[in-house]
Amino acid sequence: VCVPLVKVLRLAESEDRPSIGYLYEAMDKAKEAIRDNLKGKKKLYMPIWKIIDKRWTGQLHQPLHAAAYYLNPAIRFSPTFKKDRKVMHGL
């Protein structure tokens, strides 16, 4: 459960300092990895997701960051790109 979050933290604290769009994508992938690691059992992963969302929404998840995710061509045209409600709200 912790490994996906540690990867996001390492990305955020790297010397290269990626754009927020990359962090946005990394956080989505981390949440998916947590869900997959817990075999999709909502009862197990939802409490973790709620904690992540509380922190993410309060501090980093802003419409401008969603727009940066959407408008970054390296992310936008990748096969893993997801157009979700939160991203569209940021536009």
Q: What is the pLDDT of residue 13?
A: 83
Compute φ and ψ for 8, nearest 5 degrees: -65, -45
- Determine the 3-state secondary structure of 58 from DSSP: helix
Q: How do the pLDDT tens digits run along the chain, 91 residues long?
A: 789 999 988 888 887 766 777 888 888 899 999 999 999 999 999 999 999 988 887 776 677 777 777 788 887 888 877 777 766 666 6
Residues 6+ apart with CB under 8 A from 82: 28
Q: What is the pLDDT of residue 77?
A: 86
Q: Is the pTM of this model over 0.75?
A: no
What are the percentages of helix, strand and coil residues in the chain, rounded to 5?
A: 75, 0, 25
